[in-house]
Structure formats: C-alpha cells, structure tokens
C-alpha cells in the first residue's frame, strides 16, 4: 500500500493540452475514482501514474518517491485495462503468473499466489483455459487476478467495466469494492459512469477539460457541487438547471423563474450584479401536489416509470424539468400540477462562469 501524490502535473500532445496542472493526493488504502466525460484527461492521468506516458511537467510520487523517470515495471503498480489486455496465447494460470515469473519468483510461491487469487475470484475451474474461451465477466476476473497476485503498491483501473453488460457490471462493481475492502490497497479507478463513481469511491475526483473540478466524498459532490459541471455530471437523473433571477430579500434570496416566484433561500449569497443566475435543483427535491405547499405550476409532458420510481418530465414556464418520485402518480400529458421546491437544496450558479454562488 502506498500513497500517490500528483503535483502540478501537465500533459500535452503537440499543441493540445490534455492535463492543465493537476494537484491531487490519494491516501494510502484509499479508493479514488477519477470521473468525467470522454476526453477530460482522466485516462491520461492514470497512464501518467502507470508510467505508460510521460508527463510534460510536474511531479508524480508513489509512496513518497518521485517516479516520473521510472519505467512502468519499476513503479510496482498493477493495472486493469478496459480491454482486459489478457495475453491471448497464455492460459489463465500463465496470464496471472506472468508478472511473478518475470520477477523470478520460485514456482511454489507462484502456484500459491495464483491459486489464492483464483479461489478469491472463483476462477479455479478455468485456470487451464485460454482467454478466448472465457466470457466477458470471466476475462475481467482474470485481469483482476493478474493484478492481485502481485500484491502491488497500488491498483489502477482504466474503465474496467465498460465492456460488460449492465447486470455483470453491477456484480463486478460489488466484487471490486469487496476486494478493495479485503486487500485495503490504494486504488485509482477511472470511469465515465457517475453511478460507478458514486457507488465505489471513497473519494471522487471529478474532471473536465483537463482540470480537476472538485474532489470529495460521493455525497459531498452530490449535495454540495462546486460548479454546474459537477452538479450536472453527478446524479441520475441529472440536476435540473433553470434560468432565473435572484435578488436579496432581508437575510435571504428570492428566486424568480420565468417571471414567477420559485422559492426563497433562507441564507444570503454573493449574487451577480444583474441578478442573472442558473438555478439548480435535484429531481428528487421537487414535490408534486398542492398538499406540499406547491407554489409554481408546471405542465406534465411525459412520465417514465421503472416500477420502483418514476421520472416526470414537466414544463415550467417554457423550461424543461425532471422530477423524481417514488409515488405512483396518475398524471396525464398536458395536466397542470403544482410543484414545491425544497429551498434548502437549491443551488445557485453564476450563469457566465458556471461557478457555484455561495
């Protein structure tokens, strides 16, 4: 186990700057998830930690030692690739044993380590098979096994579940998390799937356009996003964004959307001079029905039901919104419904910069 420190790391490909000064510390034993849309630089950052690419600037430290100039083999890290990258001409056992063989580990010790990993991952019956004779989930497990036999300082995961179907992904999410709990190894996990990030991370590192947007626990990012990017990226269905006006009223802030009163925040904020703001509210923080003290009225567009819950698409003074509810409401297209907003969970953002107003 080891900590990973990244100090002002930059990476450019020609004129394109992919990472623009990343500072991040991942504590020993922590499960950190780098999340962001395609092209945000998360995989590049992982490859820099692995040593597969060279940083254009800055320092990368593993266990307190600067590793910028070390080749991947000397960094003592293990990596699980999106494509699994199993050696096609070797069977499962040899795939898992390869790193130990390279280290000239005694055969008995290799057999023990491979056997242990295989039993931990339920691969005992498959050790003689070649990768092409395995299912996606099994290949994924072999890739994991290859990583854990080495007992490395840190595990790196590059979107390891992207090639699996939804059910298998859910199961592997759980297994990887359990494995981390058992091994307690420092892990850096890259994904574009915010659900993976929310369910697996000790800490999420949200990235966009080569810049870290926010670092925090899953619920910190969910409840207290630093900007519109994080607010919109984390959470499904995504946070609603509405164009509105905000003005100070006594100790609070009155918000107006589409010319009508939306809600009043109970605390003061630093507002832009013209009062133009983006109002953010999570779909589950909106109540439907007059009984909830609904102030604004919206028109129902569409209802999507999953069984356990429903997402109601409504139109509020010309702006689309989603409402998440576990109630089984009978709503028809075009029906007018009163909405109540949980003012304690409304976020305001600067419309120009997208930064959270605090």
Partner 1 sequence: MRGTSLSRTVKWTLHYAALLAYVAVALFPLYWLLRVSITPNDILYKQGMALLPSKVTLDHYATVVGKSDFLLFFRNSIIVSGVTAIASTLLATAAGYAFSRFGFRGKFWIVGLMLVTQMFPLVIVITPIFSIFGVLGLTNSLTGLIIIYTAFNIPFATFLMQSFFDGIPKELEEAAMIDGATRFKALVEIVAPLTLPGIVATVGFCFTGAWGEILFALLLNSSPSASTFPVGLLLYSTRGTVEFGPMMAAGVLALLPVCVFFFLIQRYLVQGLTAGAVKG
Q: For residue 107, count CB atoms less than 10 angstroms from its CB and return exposed for 0-12, middle for 13-18, buried for 19 or more.
A: exposed
- Residue 71 is a binding residue for partner 1 (CB under 8 A): yes
Torsion sign over Cα 137, 111, 120, 184: negative
- Residue 107 is a binding residue for partner 1 (CB under 8 A): no
Q: How far is the CB of 24 from partner 1 (least distance, A)?
A: 20
- Residue 102 is a binding residue for partner 1 (CB under 8 A): yes
Beta-ladder partners of 311 = 304, 324
Binding positions for partner 1, 127-156, rule CB under 8 A? 146, 150
- Residue 83 is a binding residue for partner 1 (CB under 8 A): yes
Identify which of residues 150 and 173 has a Cβ nearer to partner 1 in the complex: 150
Beta-ladder partners of 286 = 341
- Residue 174 is a binding residue for partner 1 (CB under 8 A): no
Considering only the stretches 15-23, 50-58, 308-316, 330-338, report the one whose residues sit in contact with partner 1 under the rule CB under 8 A. Answer: 50-58
The H or E element that residue 330 is part of is none
One of 6, 79, 286, 303 touching partner 1 (CB under 8 A): 79
Considering only the stretches 48-56, 163-171, 330-338, 349-357, report the one whose residues sit in contact with partner 1 under the rule CB under 8 A. Answer: 48-56
Q: How far is the CB of 79 from partner 1 (least distance, A)?
A: 5
Identify which of residues 66 and 103 has a Cβ nearer to partner 1 in the complex: 103
Residue 53 has φ and ψ, to the nearest 5°, of -130, 155
3-state secondary structure of 90: coil
One of 57, 65, 66, 103 touching partner 1 (CB under 8 A): 103
- Residue 27 is a binding residue for partner 1 (CB under 8 A): no
Give CA–CA dist 257/346, Å, rounded. 13
Q: How far is the CB of 266 from partner 1 (least distance, A)?
A: 52
One of 18, 48, 78, 281 touching partner 1 (CB under 8 A): 78
- Residue 65 is a binding residue for partner 1 (CB under 8 A): no
Contact 42, 31 (CB under 8 A): no
Give CA–CA dist 307/290, Å, rounded. 24
Residue 189 has φ and ψ, to the nearest 5°, of -125, 125
Q: How far is the CB of 73 from partner 1 (least distance, A)?
A: 4
Contact 311, 296 (CB under 8 A): no
Give CA–CA dist 99/84, Å, rounded. 15
Contact 333, 301 (CB under 8 A): yes
Q: Which residues bind partner 1 (CB under 8 A)?
A: 50-52, 71-73, 75, 77-79, 81, 83, 85-89, 98-99, 102-103, 146, 150
């Amino acid at each position: 186990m080891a900590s990973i420190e990244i100090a002002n790391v930059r990476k450019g490909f020609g004129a394109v700057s992919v990472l623009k000064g990343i500072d991040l510390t991942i504590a020993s034993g922590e499960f950190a998830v780098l999340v962001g849309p395609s092209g945000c630089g998360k995989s590049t950052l992982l490859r820099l930690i692995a040593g597969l690419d060279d940083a254009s600037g800055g320092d990368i430290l593993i266990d307190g030692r600067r590793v910028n100039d070390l080749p991947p083999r000397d960094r003592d890290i293990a990596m699980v690739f999106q494509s699994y990258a199993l050696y096609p001409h070797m069977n499962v056992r040899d795939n898992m044993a390869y790193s130990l063989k390279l280290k000239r580990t005694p055969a008995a010790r290799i057999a023990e380590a491979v056997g242990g990993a295989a039993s931990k991952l339920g691969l005992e019956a498959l050790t003689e098979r070649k990768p092409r004779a395995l299912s996606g989930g099994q290949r994924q497990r072999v890739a994991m096994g290859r990583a854990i036999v080495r007992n490395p300082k840190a595990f790196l995961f590059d979107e390891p579940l992207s090639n699996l179907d939804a059910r298998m992904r859910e199961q592997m999410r759980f297994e990887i998390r359990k494995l981390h709990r058992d091994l307690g190894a420092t892990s850096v996990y890259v994904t574009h799937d915010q659900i993976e990030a929310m369910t697996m991370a000790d800490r999420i590192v949200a990235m966009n356009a080569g810049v870290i947007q926010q670092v925090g626990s899953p619920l910190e990012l969910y409840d207290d996003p630093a900007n519109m990017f994080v607010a919109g990226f984390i959470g499904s269905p995504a946070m609603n964004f509405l164009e509105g006006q905000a003005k100070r009223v006594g100790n609070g802030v009155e918000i107006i959307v589409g010319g009508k009163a939306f809600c009043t925040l109970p605390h003061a904020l630093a507002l832009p001079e013209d009062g133009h703001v983006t109002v953010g509210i999570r779909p589950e923080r909106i109540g439907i029905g007059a009984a909830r003290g609904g102030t604004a009225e919206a028109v129902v567009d569409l209802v999507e039901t999953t069984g356990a819950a429903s997402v109601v698409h409504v139109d509020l003074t010309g702006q689309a919104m989603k409402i998440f509810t576990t109630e089984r409401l009978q709503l028809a297209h075009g029906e007018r419904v009163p909405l109540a907003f949980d003012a304690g969970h409304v976020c305001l953002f600067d419309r120009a910069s997208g930064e959270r107003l605090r």
